[in-house]
Amino acid sequence: MWLCKHLNSNLITKENLLGKDFSYLAEEAKKHLQVYKGWVLDGIPERREQALMLQTLGLMPKHVIVLNAPDTVLIERNVGKRIDPVTGEIYHTTFDWPPESEIQNRLIEPDGISEIETAKRLLEYHRNIIRILPSYPKILKQISADQPCVDVFYQVLSYVQTGHRSNAPFTPKVLLCGPLGSGKSLQATLLAQKYGLVNICCGQLLKEAVAAKSNFGELIQPFFEKQMTVPDSIITKALAERLDQQDCIQKGWVLHGFPRDLDQAQMLNNMGYSPNRVFFLNVPLDSILERLTLRRTDPVTGERFHLMYKPPPTIEVQARLLQNPKDSEEHIRLQTDLFYRNSGDLEQYYDWAITINGDQDPYTVFEYIESGIINPLPKKVT
């Protein structure tokens, strides 16, 4: 309650969720209020299953605090607990008795606070809490509650007001996987435009590092010059540096071009950058060849054309068009084969990912991706 008053947030407990009847309009108003003001959840989740259900619904706290104290202290506190039915304030017969006689007279004893009942509830709590805590590994703080209330409160407040990297599903961390020419770049651009996500193309990130002549760029440049594959150790360092920047932490990100195989996916996970939405864009080889082998560039203007979808305006322009060596049929077949050789392991690793037919209108593909981001992850039927 103190935290809610200080932060102007909403207090949500199991009791006030189940103990009050709201009209439909009141429910809707409350939802909007909680979005803009935030919330403090007290006593929920009680079991690991509830913690997982909250995550599935996209309800992920930014901070989780566990208040610890010896059972003997907790039993003594609970037995003397009294509640003001008017304000909801909690008092204690020994430690915190109100001076006003009017408040004293209306205090009530909560149900289930006897020594035996409290001991039973504590036993149940200890059984469940050890299964709940692993659900919040990076946002958890344990604080001793066996000290004055004010000291506990300021430790809690200090932690809540600190910023940290959040794994919350409501901060989208999207991974797009697909072969060359599957439309990953376009879909990433559309997602970034609509939802304000940071668009991270792994290949472009490496090129920018080289152009900026950064420390990573100097390591990468020799591999570019020799047209060799950049080692995973260098790629992951460049990627980590970008994902740790404030815009990625606050806005979320959409990543494409990495990982390309199981080892890279495991490296990404071990570094703490696991995506919470993964999409595989499947496109047949014939469509990929049609998309890429017909691409051309005008060396004079730099404008890009496609011999089928966006032909050059004049014969003169067509005569001077050039094809990028990477758009050759041989290169595309090689790269596509390489992707699909590794995609089985990736799909198994991200077994909750969503597979989409990428061989259709790009805005139709975007609608499928968008629905997969705003809706809870699908549950696999076993």
The answer to whether 178 touches 285, Cβ cutoff 8 Å, is no
Distances (CA, A) of 228 to 231, 279, 331: 9, 28, 15
pLDDT of residue 163: 58
pLDDT of residue 36: 44
DSSP code of residue 135: G
The answer to whether 253 touches 200, Cβ cutoff 8 Å, is yes
The answer to whether 165 touches 249, Cβ cutoff 8 Å, is yes
The answer to whether 184 touches 256, Cβ cutoff 8 Å, is yes
The answer to whether 230 touches 223, Cβ cutoff 8 Å, is yes
**130-159 tens-digit pLDDT:** 889 888 877 888 999 888 888 888 888 888
**35-76 tens-digit pLDDT:** 446 788 898 899 988 888 887 776 778 889 999 999 998 888
Separation of alpha carbons 126 and 137, rounded Å: 18
Q: Which domains does the chain have, with CATH numbers?
A: 174-200+249-293+328-374 (3.40.50.300)
pLDDT of residue 78: 87
Is the whole model's pTM more than 0.75, yes or no? no
Hey, how many other C-beta atoms are within 10 angstroms of the C-beta on 346? 20
List helix spans (H) across 13-47. 14-18, 24-37
Residue 269 reports pLDDT greater than 50: yes
**235-265 tens-digit pLDDT:** 998 899 899 898 898 889 999 999 999 999 9
